[in-house]
Chains A and B, each alone.
Chain A
């Protein structure tokens, strides 16, 4: 920490120098992704023989990556610069020359630590959570594959290598969402995630075409420092918005957020690691990496900021009326990603990354805690059937408490600092309306997260020990103690019946909770004041916003903004307390938030239904029409012209000799033409 402080102070305000580095930890940086890749291959090939030991292998690989990442951090602290670790060529075709070079600067170092740190914790947690699953070793193979992919994403030194990781995390996500593929909804959720992300990928790919067209390269070192001198305003807007299109899919922004709530079909550790802490933040990483484009276009920044603000609002409203312990967190993730986009769009690049980091801690923790609760409740997910778990699972309770206060932005918990700084940046750069919306969403956030927390842990139990319940949540059921892990439990159509005996989770699960709890509590220390050490640390990476031309900001001072933030969080918690703790929840319909908007929120504003109607039903009709067109018009026309159908029918009817006759005939025609032409020409 002190090192980091010192480095930040001496870092100055200038942009990074680019240096080629092949020594020290950075020289070995290729091992960071490679080690988990080897883990993936080994577990995949030897998994059947390794069984439980696959978990140790995979976790060991993750831990090695983490240690290497720490070493890299220290090297970057000692030598703050944009280090390029040259490697060999990936694609070299004409002008297009793409290498596997790695790019390591202050931002990369942060991302590496988050990815490998949270990644390793989730590996440890998964040992307990997935124990007894029939595809236990496969799960760890996929986790290692994910780590590899995500590390390629953050280490790539050009847009295409970033895209390589970008797509491979998509594959890992597909595999892990559909991990219990026997359930149709889960398989559908996996496909939906992949396809939705592909839509964003088109945008990302076109962005690369444009960048290559204008810069003749996709390497960060060629493109980013030159953006200001090469691009016109319109070109910068175009590139920024195309990149935004890709980021909006990966980071679940309007209109492409729809895959993320469904992605909760994956095992809960996956939701924590991929769909909360790391992969979904890749879009934020991309936008910050490409901040040089953004600062050239106030239009693009405004669109990014408003996309984030509206996404944050929409997801928060929906979250208020969700009852599934994971779905609430999923919408909350969408909403928090919206905050990060507000940061990016309003020029708070470092603030966005800071929130990315604290969010990785507290949201990772919230998901792992939810997993711990599901573990205890035989995979029950309805928070209305929980309550009173405070006494049964104290570690899960206390760590969840920390995470809840962090996401509700109550000081001194980490989420307060990062969220407040994003909103401050928005306000100070003249985005007053975005700021106000952000404050409103902060109230909602505190409200729905308190609802989540209160209904799960506080009050009287709304369950009875020993009650038989249908375990309908995939293969997770097979690890519930007393349950027979063999047999085909995960695939069974008919829900698996278990008896409810809530209990605290094993140490492999609670230790990661505690570690993340500490980080969620203390993470704010990275940047206690707005322009603190974390801000300075990233300053050489992100583009200066001095020349964007932001509007003048309002009259509120920073202390006043902080007070408003705190009041917003407390207000949300207070309202939820009145609604869900003070009131008896034993009634027929205990939900307090009612009315037409609440009903709409519960139905998620029918967005899925709308997309279904437009893209699936209408799309299918178009496709059916094209199939008809192909068979009758295209095929029919060509057949008709050659009167193929009749001759074919005749040939078919006649006999086997059809071939010989047809062939001889055409050969004869060919020969006659040949001879005729030769005779004419030779003469």
Chain B
């Protein structure tokens, strides 16, 4: 019941938007609906049994009994984190759009509908229901880019749509095959199937296609920079902070548990793609002239870390992969917000247009620097407590991938600090820079919760790990004893001493 409430509150808000008299009350309605969903998700957290690795707080209702599809929802630690990330970010995104003037109701409704879709993806335990939510999430995002985007919005929107749609259709074929084998769309039933390796292999690939595009992994990432550049600020924030996590979540929820042997076979290839993505995304980010594109490419690199962790198949790395999804959501979300705030002032995102801003807008510069430091994984902030365990855990199973991936931290520092230096340091030159105004209280209000979490998680990430580790352990153990053993018990002459610390 509770899960249904969390899931549908935003949608109810979206519907309610058609009955409100003016834009202002529309904004309030949207804010209230999304905030209510956040509060409900906190209740969810309170009721969640942390130590229990199972899917919990189940909702199970009849949906299409004729084909064995049911309206089934549940959460484990992995989904819980992403649910809360979603409900936390959405009110902030709406608050950040407070000055939006163009077709306000439709705009807000799209975000609320998107929230419900995404929450559905994170909680559905019926394959068909998952698929429906997964594909439905495309529509509002498509509209947000296509109707409220920049000059080249149609190209970007269609590219986004076709890319992800293609992946989705491939996955649908896989889902239908699984249905044929299990006789229902139930997730648990699919999990209990033991498919021959040959079958697993092609099923793995079709699911992987859908999720890899979503993440996005190299080389299917090129829709992302275009989508980000053209999307309005709030759209970019939602896309980076939440929508990309659908891919990582899907890999962990479906690819690993349903196709364990195939997963192991493909691990070296996937880790190679991740490492390429980490380095390649960073190097391409370095040369971007548009700061939004820079951050878009940095997402390719950062999400490469996430998938690297997930496919390291080691409790430390895989859990950290999940935690890093949250971290990336917070940091990159905050970066896109800042870029949006700057864009509203200057109507440009060309790095070369800015100079010496730290002198004129010290508060914005301060926020920007903290978020930059979080994004380049400075210890003490959230990025590090995800990235470091990912790399350390990966080293235990696939050393070369960790060593190569570690170079990503140098490159991240390079492109982020170089951009910061060009925009905020140096002399304050030109009338535009001199007349840029600092953040307003509302904008500070939007950024502050993000920065507080960036610091809090950096200093004390344990609640996140406590939630995630049991579920991840479960996934890895069920994948087969040898995997869990390889990931869990590294050759350690001093394991006793280690455990006691």
- Docked pose: A622 CA to B286 CA in angstroms: 11
Size bracket of the A interface: 35 or more
> A586 on the interface (CB 8 Å rule)?
no
| Known interface pairs A191-B418, A222-B497, A652-B155; A95-B488 also in contact (CB < 8 Å) | yes
Question: Is the CB–CB distance between B219 and A638 below 8 Å?
Answer: yes
Residues of A within 8 A of B389 (CB): 91, 93, 96
A558-579 contact mask (Cβ, 8 Å, vs B): 1 or 0: 0000000000000000000000
Question: Is the CB–CB distance between B155 and A648 below 8 Å?
Answer: yes
> A507 on the interface (CB 8 Å rule)?
no
| Known interface pairs A491-B428, A638-B220, A642-B166; A91-B155 also in contact (CB < 8 Å) | no
Question: Is the CB–CB distance between A651 and B154 below 8 Å?
Answer: yes
Interface residues of A in 623-670 (CB under 8 A from B): 623-624, 626-627, 630, 634-635, 637-639, 642, 644, 647-649, 651-652, 658-659, 662-663, 666, 669-670
A183-211 contact mask (Cβ, 8 Å, vs B): 1 or 0: 11001101100110011011001101110
Question: Is the CB–CB distance between B426 and A182 below 8 Å?
Answer: yes
Question: Is the CB–CB distance between A184 and B497 below 8 Å?
Answer: no
B202-223 contact mask (Cβ, 8 Å, vs A): 1 or 0: 0000000000000000111110
Q: Which of B373, B421, B427, B492 contacts A171 (CB 8 A)?
A: B373
> B494 on the interface (CB 8 Å rule)?
yes
Interface residues of A in 312-369 (CB under 8 A from B): none
> B359 on the interface (CB 8 Å rule)?
yes
> A556 on the interface (CB 8 Å rule)?
no
Residues of B within 8 A of A642 (CB): 162, 166
Question: Is the CB–CB distance between A202 and B378 below 8 Å?
Answer: no
- Docked pose: A389 CA to B266 CA in angstroms: 72
Residues of B within 8 A of A166 (CB): 379
Min Cβ gap A160→B in Å is 7
Residues of A within 8 A of B67 (CB): 678, 682
> A131 on the interface (CB 8 Å rule)?
no
Q: Which of B158, B219, B466, B490 contacts A216 (CB 8 A)?
A: B490
Min Cβ gap B21→A in Å is 27
> B451 on the interface (CB 8 Å rule)?
no
Question: Is the CB–CB distance between A198 and B157 below 8 Å?
Answer: no
> B135 on the interface (CB 8 Å rule)?
yes
> B142 on the interface (CB 8 Å rule)?
yes
- Docked pose: A622 CA to B283 CA in angstroms: 9
Stretch from B193-201, B235-243, B248-256, B407-415 that touches the partner: B407-415
| Known interface pairs A171-B373, A222-B494, A677-B176; A202-B155 also in contact (CB < 8 Å) | no
- Most chain B CB atoms below 10 A, which of A181, A622, A647: A181
Main secondary structure of the interface of B (DSSP, over half): helix
Question: Is the CB–CB distance between A216 and B402 below 8 Å?
Answer: no
Question: Is the CB–CB distance between A168 and B417 below 8 Å?
Answer: no
> B173 on the interface (CB 8 Å rule)?
yes
Residues of A within 8 A of B155 (CB): 648-649, 652
Question: Is the CB–CB distance between B492 and A215 below 8 Å?
Answer: yes
Question: Is the CB–CB distance between A181 and B314 below 8 Å?
Answer: no
Min Cβ gap A234→B in Å is 15
Closest to A161 in B: B379
Residues of A within 8 A of B378 (CB): 167-168, 171
A511-547 contact mask (Cβ, 8 Å, vs B): 1 or 0: 0000000000000000000000000000000000000
Q: Which of B173, B388, B421 contacts A673 (CB 8 A)?
A: B173
Question: Is the CB–CB distance between B380 and A167 below 8 Å?
Answer: yes
| Known interface pairs A226-B497, A648-B155; A491-B359 also in contact (CB < 8 Å) | yes
Residues of B within 8 A of A464 (CB): none
Question: Is the CB–CB distance between B417 and A191 below 8 Å?
Answer: yes
Residues of B within 8 A of A493 (CB): 427
> A99 on the interface (CB 8 Å rule)?
yes
Question: Is the CB–CB distance between B319 and A93 below 8 Å?
Answer: yes
Interface residues of B in 379-432 (CB under 8 A from A): 379-380, 384-385, 388-389, 391-393, 395-396, 399, 402-403, 406-407, 409-410, 413-414, 417-418, 421, 424-428
Q: Which of A96, A622, A663 contacts B161 (CB 8 A)?
A: A663
- Docked pose: A659 CA to B358 CA in angstroms: 42
| Known interface pairs A163-B379, A187-B426, A648-B155; A678-B176 also in contact (CB < 8 Å) | yes
Closest to B493 in A: A230
Q: Which of A88, A90, A194, A648 contacts B158 (CB 8 A)?
A: A648
> A681 on the interface (CB 8 Å rule)?
yes
Residues of B within 8 A of A94 (CB): 314-316, 319, 393, 469, 473, 487-488
Stretch from B47-55, B118-126, B330-338, B457-465 that touches the partner: B457-465
Q: Which of A178, A182, A669 contacts B428 (CB 8 A)?
A: A182
Q: Which of B395, B399, B501 contacts A219 (CB 8 A)?
A: B501
Question: Is the CB–CB distance between B380 and A168 below 8 Å?
Answer: yes
> B169 on the interface (CB 8 Å rule)?
yes
Q: Which of B406, B410, B459 contacts A206 (CB 8 A)?
A: B406
Min Cβ gap A50→B in Å is 16
Question: Is the CB–CB distance between A627 and B425 below 8 Å?
Answer: no
- Docked pose: A357 CA to B164 CA in angstroms: 61
> A97 on the interface (CB 8 Å rule)?
yes
> A89 on the interface (CB 8 Å rule)?
yes
Min Cβ gap B473→A in Å is 8
> A10 on the interface (CB 8 Å rule)?
no
Question: Is the CB–CB distance between B498 and A216 below 8 Å?
Answer: yes
Min Cβ gap B154→A in Å is 5
- Docked pose: A215 CA to B180 CA in angstroms: 48
Min Cβ gap B173→A in Å is 7
Residues of A within 8 A of B158 (CB): 644, 647-648, 651-652, 658-659, 662
Closest to B473 in A: A94
Question: Is the CB–CB distance between B388 and A160 below 8 Å?
Answer: yes
Residues of B within 8 A of A4 (CB): none
Min Cβ gap B358→A in Å is 6
> A38 on the interface (CB 8 Å rule)?
no
| Known interface pairs A184-B427, A634-B222, A673-B172; A216-B146 also in contact (CB < 8 Å) | no
Min Cβ gap B300→A in Å is 10
> B45 on the interface (CB 8 Å rule)?
no
| Known interface pairs A195-B414, A212-B392; A662-B162 also in contact (CB < 8 Å) | yes
Interface residues of B in 144-182 (CB under 8 A from A): 146, 154-155, 157-159, 161-163, 165-166, 169, 172-173, 176, 179-180
Question: Is the CB–CB distance between A167 and B379 below 8 Å?
Answer: yes
Question: Is the CB–CB distance between A181 and B425 below 8 Å?
Answer: yes
Residues of B within 8 A of A663 (CB): 139, 142, 161
- Docked pose: A210 CA to B490 CA in angstroms: 12
| Known interface pairs A94-B319, A96-B389, A623-B287; A648-B159 also in contact (CB < 8 Å) | yes
Q: Which of B154, B172, B491, B498 contacts A652 (CB 8 A)?
A: B154
Min Cβ gap B67→A in Å is 6
Residues of A within 8 A of B473 (CB): 94
Residues of B within 8 A of A205 (CB): 388, 391, 406, 409
Min Cβ gap A420→B in Å is 38
- Docked pose: A164 CA to B461 CA in angstroms: 14
Chain A to chain B: the 8 pairs with minimum beta-carbon distance, closest first: A94-B315, A216-B498, A187-B425, A216-B492, A209-B395, A217-B498, A635-B222, A94-B316
Known contacts A90-B461, A96-B392, A659-B158; 14 further A-B pairs (Cβ under 8 A): A94-B487, A96-B316, A97-B501, A205-B391, A209-B392, A215-B498, A630-B280, A638-B220, A639-B222, A651-B158, A659-B143, A666-B162, A678-B67, A681-B179
26 intermolecular pairs with C-beta atoms under 8 Å apart: A90-B459, A90-B461, A91-B461, A92-B465, A94-B315, A95-B315, A96-B392, A167-B384, A187-B421, A194-B413, A195-B414, A205-B406, A206-B395, A206-B402, A212-B395, A623-B283, A634-B221, A638-B220, A639-B222, A648-B158, A652-B158, A662-B158, A663-B139, A663-B142, A677-B179, A682-B67
Measured CB to CB, the residues of B under 8 A from A are 67, 135, 139, 142-143, 146, 154-155, 157-159, 161-163, 165-166, 169, 172-173, 176, 179-180, 218-222, 280, 283-284, 286-288, 314-316, 319-320, 323, 356, 358-359, 373, 378-380, 384-385, 388-389, 391-393, 395-396, 399, 402-403, 406-407, 409-410, 413-414, 417-418, 421, 424-428, 459-462, 465-466, 469, 473, 487-488, 490-495, 497-499, 501
